Amino acid sequence: MSKNAEKVVEALDNIQKDAITQDIEENGIENIISRELGNHEAQITGSIGDTVDSLEGYGVSKEAIAKYYKEVYLPLCMKNA
């Protein structure tokens, strides 16, 4: 990879990291998990896999997402059904 390409890749990585930091600061990790579960229709599919993948850079574990899904998200969906 050329030096210019490396600089572009590094800049894009930094932009992504900054965006994740801003998202967490503005929305909080539980709201982000809830948003992503909804975006991937986890309440319909019963799967959190796509949500886990989408939150890879957020430092949240699959176990934490599964716990939130089971204890908070799914009961709320059932209540609002």
Per-residue pLDDT tens digits of the chain, which is 81 residues long:
899 999 999 999 999 999 999 999 999 999 999 999 999 999 999 999 999 999 999 999 999 999 999 999 999 999 987
Structure tokens at 23: 């998202």
Read off the pTM. 0.87
CA distance 74 to 31: 14
Q: Give the closest residue to 39 by CA, choosing from 47, 23, 51, 30.
A: 51
